Amino acid sequence: MPAAFVRTVSDVHGEAGRVWLAGLGDLVAELASRWQLEIGERFELSYNYVTAVTTSGGTPAVVKLGVPSDAELAGEAEALRLFGGEGAVRLLRHDADRGALLLERADPGVPCSSLVPHDDDAATVAVASVLWRLWRSAPPDCLLRPLEELAGTFDRYWRNAGRNTERDADAPLDERSVRRAETLFADLVAAGAERVVLHGDLHHDNVLSARREPWLAIDAKGLTGPRGYDAVALLYNPWGFMDATAAVGPIVDHRVDVLAGELDLDVAELRAWGYVKAMLTALWGLEDHGRPHPMPLRVAAHLASRLG
């Protein structure tokens, strides 16, 4: 396994992650036999093990494996079930006890990030078109987590504020910015009367080209809440491109304008959600890796100047 993948799983899941990594090879072999799969090349790994497979009927597919206790895996499976293949890859099989998903493979599977920066508007419109396909009213018996649960991120930050400062001494988070994001988050959630099924992390690299539809979403987190939360992850993505440019402000402002027009959302609301989501992403980086990635903080700082 790549060292970075092993480190990430261990950082995020602790001992449960290390135990899971030790048994990963046996788990892949077991699923290949039980689901009658031919294992192909694995994809680039981050938080989960993802590999190409071929079913016994010759259909290309993908197996995604994660630590079974990870709530995001269950959320992904439920979200894909609710999407029903509209705007997202289809869920073919799910084994919750083993943290295993068998997924439709998007073909040719070129990420939307390939359009950036030479056609950034086309990339933004592509992500917006997928969001329109995904959004639907959350059913009364929906098993997905409500967006309100993400408030726990702020609670954990304040509980560990002293330790966070020590761990992140070179790039401390501004506590006033965290408090502002926390307040804005509560206000935005409370103001969102309509509850829809949310992807939860729809950015350029989670939108792939396909034949069944022009673009299909992958890697859903699965939440329910206001639409605006789902529309802003692409403001600080793709990280490689955004890291390399000094002019993040004009890029972010233009993307907000395009998204507002494509999704019929208010510019001020999108800026507010963008600020909140960027700060949440920074806090998750602090939790998982001991320090936030600087890009979401750069975008949050710019959006803060636009909030008034």
Which residue is catalytic, options 70, 119, 120, 201?
A: 201
- Note if 120 is an active site residue: no
Domain 3-105: assigned CATH number = 3.30.200.20
pLDDT of res. 169: 47
Looking at residues 158-174, what average pLDDT do you find?
A: 65
Looking at residues 10-32, what average pLDDT do you find?
A: 96
Residue percentage of the chain with pLDDT more than 70 = 96
Strand 145-146 to strand 223-225: parallel, antiparallel, or no bridges (unpaired)?
Answer: parallel
pLDDT of res. 143: 93
pLDDT digits (tens, 9 = 90+) for 38-57: 999 999 999 999 999 999 99
Phi, psi for 53 (deg, rounded to 5): -140, 165
DSSP for the chain?
A: --HHHHHHHHHHHHHHHHHHHHTHHHHHHHHHHHTTEEEEEEPP-SSSEEEEEEETTS-EEEEEE--TT-HHHHHHHHHHHHHTTSSBPPEEEEEGGGTEEEEEPPSEEEEGGGGTTTTHHHHHHHHHHHHHHH--BPPTT--SEEGGGGHHHHHHHHHTHHHHHHHTTTS---HHHHHHHHHHHHHHHHH----EEE-S---GGGEEEESSSSEEE-----EEE-GGGGG-GGGG-SHHHHHH-S-HHHHHHHHHHHHHHHHT--HHHHHHHHHHHHHHHHHHHHHHHSS--HHHHHHHHHHHHH--
Looking at the predicted structure, is the pLDDT value of residue 254 above 60? yes
pLDDT digits (tens, 9 = 90+) for 199-210: 999 999 999 999
Tokens of 115: 């359009």
Looking at the predicted structure, is the pLDDT value of residue 234 above 80? yes
192: number of Cβ within 10 Å? 17
Looking at the predicted structure, is the pLDDT value of residue 65 above 90? yes
The CATH class of the 109-306 domain is alpha beta
Looking at residues 191-215, what average pLDDT do you find?
A: 95
8: number of Cβ within 10 Å? 18
pLDDT of res. 288: 84
**191 touches 228 (CB < 8 A):** no
pLDDT of res. 123: 98
Domain borders along the chain are 3-105, 109-306
pLDDT digits (tens, 9 = 90+) for 111-135: 999 999 999 999 999 999 999 999 9
**144 touches 78 (CB < 8 A):** yes
pLDDT of res. 162: 61
pLDDT tier for residue 137 given thresholds of 50, 70 and 90: very high
Tokens of 131: 């969001």
**35 touches 73 (CB < 8 A):** no
**221 touches 70 (CB < 8 A):** no
List beta partners, residue 91: 103
Q: Side chain identity at 26, as an amino acid letter?
A: D
Burial of 221 (0-12, 13-18, 19+ CB in 10 A): buried
pLDDT of res. 232: 98
Looking at residues 85-94, what average pLDDT do you find?
A: 98
Looking at residues 22-34, what average pLDDT do you find?
A: 97
Looking at residues 51-67, what average pLDDT do you find?
A: 97
